[in-house]
Structure 1
């Protein structure tokens, strides 16, 4: 009888400790969620307003310059502010906890690709299959995959001479697989060890994922696979 009672008490104590750990983990997640929201709002209100003000003042100053003066430096300042604004929006998107799922990531990548290639002569097509669109995708994974995608698109425009670029996203609750493929001239020897490819490889390896480059005269295919939760 005493042995049974002791075992029951031990079982209750183990359950109490398990519940305590779960409660502490939940509170930590809630606290992190609130902090990420606060940082996102602060960045939007403070940095966003400041960058917009720089761009606006630069454009006003350019209009006030005499026509015969060189406005190249002001043009560069406007371009820098636009670049900073885009980068900030991407960071805000990655920080915002409301975007921590596969569906939002997929939609963002598609919108980005359509907008990016709309300014080029290349046709952009996409395909995707998400087993569970609401499945969580860690913020650091989202951010690094977005930068990987940007670099891949940039390489297509700068080096591929392609007419078409395809984006494929497949994911389940554990893995996400991204494929960027073009029908261009392939990677030239002086580009195979370039900064862009090194940057992409570094981003994926940082997430403990795998990346593969295939290239020939018919085009280039870049495949990356990472865990959805880092």
Structure 2
């Protein structure tokens, strides 16, 4: 039992035996024992016929007697003490009621004493119809345990007469009803029953004198119904009556169905994953084919421009220069000189276009080398000294054509602004790669300008726009008569390998 029930129970009697043995009876909370250190409780789980006790008495013969609302109860002290230490120990409870001569089924209490042991050893118990006297030495117990038998089983209203089972039901939850009987030739009306449905119940159900046990909405599964009879003298059946029950599940409740559904889900998931992976692979292959075709076309265009158009323009430039020399001091000389210059400019522009469309140049190294070479050639024509500081270690990193060309156009725009507007006497170009960042710094010692004044022009706006389209940024530092520095920065992937 649970000793905590003593906190909320009406104490009907106290029987002190010694400092280590005090018995307390309660109305509704069963019997309690104080052993000097802790409390122990006895209730229906321990076989107590009725927890509504009105008094507790010691007969001096090793037994404890109790008045209750279900009659007079007796138990051996030695068995109770053993049960307190070992929950598996058996206690044999004797119950006396009106069939044994009591004037009433119920003993009454609520006052003290509610039971009395006289000097002659007689025990007196008040009842609703008079006083009952018990001579403890004359009370004998039946030593024969009552056998118990199953009479019938009903599953969903269908009668099964075979008590040995197994009982099988139709699929789905079932209502089970078991009827049984215990035999006793001394006092059959005192037989009580305890039953359980193993597989559903963890503990025994106390049924009292009821000879039927019903279970509602029992889920599918395998169960065993067990029932025991308890005589009025507290003896239990030596063997419980048993019958096995099989409640069939619906097909969607079976293990094979769950396994099949699980397998189907796995197959669908695997098939979906395989199909998705196959589609991704097809798209990648298609993208690679398109990319290879595009790069092949770009290579062909670059080759044709360089070999055909480039060679023709170079030839035109050379012929124009030779014609200008032959026509010295002739009215056609200025036009021929201008034609030669224009042809050289177109050749330079064509070289830039060939570099931009050639897929073999889609690398960071190519961008750095081309910007440095263009700056030297461009400023050499403008007769401006150039100092360069270009990193020797450039990551082996592919770059998209649009990013590469956008960064180059921004750098060319910055150099062109220096030649046209700065009036500088020297230009410095620094290119570095650090912390996954490409930084191009172009510095001149020219006149500088006010940033607010120049904000309305297209040049600075084009610089920032080109860098933003390439995924980078542009920053300008300048003051009047203090020169100008243009910073072009471009983030790079972190998986690059240096190539020196």
Q: Indicate the TM-score class for this superposition, using the shorter chain for normalisation.
A: 0.7 to 0.9
The alignment's TM-score, normalised by the length of structure 2, stands at 0.41
Query: Structure 2 vs 1, CA of residues 16 and 222 (structure 1 numbering), >3 Å: closer, same or farther?
Result: same
Give distance in 1, aligned partners of 2:267 and 2:435.
Answer: 42
Unaligned runs of 5+ in 1: none
Aligned residue pair count = 228
Equivalent position of 2:389 in the other structure: 126
Equivalent position of 1:19 in the other structure: 281
Tell me the SS of whatever aligns to 1:213.
strand
Counterpart of 1:154 (choices 416, 430, 434) is 416
Write the deviation string for residues 119-146 of structure 1: whole angstroms up to 9, x where unpaired. Answer: 524232224386x622111112222222
Structure with the bigger percentage of helix: 1
Counterpart of 1:67 (choices 300, 309, 329) is 329
Give distance in 2, aligned partners of 1:168 and 1:41.
Answer: 32
Query: Structure 2 vs 1, CA of residues 13 and 79 (structure 1 numbering), >3 Å: closer, same or farther?
Result: same
Write the deviation string for residues 144-172 of structure 1: whole angstroms up to 9, x where unpaired. Answer: 22222122112223332334322233447
Counterpart of 1:207 (choices 460, 470, 480) is 470
Q: Which has the larger radius of gyration?
A: 2
Equivalent position of 1:183 in the other structure: 445
Aligned 8 A contact 2:386 2:429 in 1: no
1:35-74 equivalence runs, <5 A = 35-65=297-327, 67-69=329-331, 71-74=333-336
Instruction: Give the deviation of 1:76 after TM superposition.
Output: 0.9
Give distance in 2, aligned partners of 1:107 and 1:208.
Answer: 20
Give distance in 1, aligned partners of 2:416 and 2:453.
Answer: 13
Equivalent position of 1:222 in the other structure: 486
Aligned 8 A contact 2:403 2:471 in 1: no
Query: Structure 2 vs 1, CA of residues 203 and 6 (structure 1 numbering), >3 Å: closer, same or farther?
Result: closer
Give distance in 2, aligned partners of 1:11 and 1:70.
Answer: 75
Give distance in 2, aligned partners of 1:121 and 1:17.
Answer: 57
Give distance in 2, aligned partners of 1:96 and 1:55.
Answer: 24
Aligned 8 A contact 1:141 1:228 in 2: no
Query: Structure 2 vs 1, CA of residues 164 and 59 (structure 1 numbering), >3 Å: closer, same or farther?
Result: closer
Give distance in 1, aligned partners of 2:313 and 2:469.
Answer: 30
Instruction: Give the deviation of 1:90 after TM superposition.
Output: 0.7
Instruction: Give the deviation of 1:189 after TM superposition.
Output: 7.9
Counterpart of 1:33 (choices 262, 279, 295) is 295
* Range with greater deviation from structure 2 (154-163 or 14-23): 154-163
Give distance in 2, aligned partners of 1:117 and 1:63.
Answer: 26
Structure with the bigger percentage of strand: 2
Counterpart of 1:77 (choices 339, 358, 361) is 339
Equivalent position of 2:401 in the other structure: 139
Write the deviation string for residues 63-119 of structure 1: whole angstroms up to 9, x where unpaired. Answer: 332535351111111111000000000110111111111111111111222333345
The alignment's TM-score, normalised by the length of structure 1, stands at 0.84
Aligned 8 A contact 1:160 1:184 in 2: yes
CA RMSD of the aligned region, Å? 2.8
Counterpart of 1:98 (choices 342, 360, 366) is 360
